[in-house]
Structure 1
Amino acid sequence: MQNNVRPIAPVSIAGLTPNSPSTGMPIFELVKPTDLFVDPAYQRNISEKGSRQIRRIIEGFDWTKFKPPICAYSEHEGRTMLKVLDGQHTAIAAASNPHVDVIPVMIVEAEDTISQAKAFIGQNTDRLGVTNLQMHQAALAAADEDAQTLELVCHRANIKVLKTTNAYTGDGCRQTIAIKQIEGLISRRGAQRSREILEVLANAERGPLTAPQIKAVELLLSDHEYCDKITDEDLTDAIVELLTTAEEEAKLLAVTHKIPFWRALAITWFRKCKKRRQPLTRAA
């Protein structure tokens, strides 16, 4: 039985407020891929995985599979150029293929770095392969307040947020890539308390700071079952004293009691931590 084709038809917009585009409709142009540029303020460098992707595109280059890069005209040092907002792997593959002279690109209105970075975020939100770190760097370039707050909190805690997952130096002390965990921490606890929580780990001189570690410290310093019995400084001392054995004990505890690793890590640190004396309650 042959399936009937179906036309594109509008859906109901009841309850919706359709947005009116603030910029003009994109245009398409044919350009030499080598005439395109990439802005490192919001674009990632090509990783080993990205290089493999480019090679696959070169070997299987087919116009039926081609997705035009999204670009924007921009002024840079007195020169007008086309910057790639999305699709740099495709553009590099095309520039590397001797059978391809020009490619079509879609050009949108985004003249400055902030608007270009916002466009990059819009193109890559919820896309697989674009990491939280890359989205955070783009948000910084777009002057996003939440991203700026995260950087400020980490800076005041003397913690460096890395730009890529393989950028750790030394033992990773005071360095992190746990962007989503810190975002959630700030959302739940506010900037000041988040800084204090992160300082507990930073002052322990352990690295890198991981999401389970951050979550464990947040629990210990926020949950009434624990927070009234320990101080920030005593928790730092416990983390230093246990070193890597804490993770080993926590893994065993997590398996034995079927609890999340981060919670097991919190319990392990708490057991080691010096406890405050609790005031005696007077009998009625």
Structure 2
Amino acid sequence: MPDTAITPDRAHRIEFDERLRRAVQARTTPVVPPDGQMLRWVPVSDLMIDGSYQRMISDRGIGAIRRIIQDFSWSRFGALIVTEHHAGPADGLVVIDGQHRAIAASHLGIEEVPAIVAPWRDAAHQAGDFVGINCTRTNVASIDKFRARVTAGDQVACDVAGILSELNISTDVPPGTSLRPYQTRAVSRLEKLVKAYGRGTVYTALDMLIDAQGEQPDLLTATTIWATVAATDALLTAEGDIEAFAKLLEVIDFETLAEQGRELVKLRGGQGGIRAAEQLLAAYNKGRQKKVTL
């Protein structure tokens, strides 16, 4: 017959397996917190928005919804936070956090989404939860988002990272400090410029800028980079004198240029970087028959 005696070794093994079983059961059994919340999949058709405290969908919000739809992934979707709503024929679930995701799910035709469901709370309590959630949420800095995109293999972010590495430009800038030579915070602007003008043009512009005034503090700001890239692109397109432009960069006061750009925006509208680029080209065009414009 099989040996069924509980030896010390066997007893220890059984005790371990029992602990493991309880641990697995704890991880797989839905946990109901003291206030009765429950994590479950809920029908999208049951979701409602309370306009008394929820934000109106702004243009920025519409953009966020479009990005969720275009790049949908369950690993990024997360769980909504909702509360039960009982009011006769209007029974449903009121969304406290996750309005944009809920709308995106509806547009995608998703029938159910994960949500933390709390028992009914009146609008005042819902609004309090809404404020608490949004005020304690940590904003991710643009540089951290950029580094995450590089790690994820985003092509534009990788192009920018490559340019910065090749030109020995650092993004390790402590918050609240001035830019030292070869430092920049303008990674978001650089990504937009690579998309608009291409990697080669951005590299050429930054290379000329550093050759011209590389040891100047506070040089590689978003406006200075933007203006130089836009002007460089115009010169390359028009087959202008790029060497003369590089010489011009050596004598430009970029702080004054940025201020001129801001003043022109106030007078004529537009964007500061583009207005500053126009001033750069105006300086380049002096005494030239062949004018270059944006």
TM class, shorter-chain normalised? 0.3 to 0.5
| Larger Cα-atom Rg | 2
Could you say which structure has the higher helix fraction?
2
Q: TM-score, normalised by structure 1?
A: 0.48
Q: TM-score, normalised by structure 2?
A: 0.46
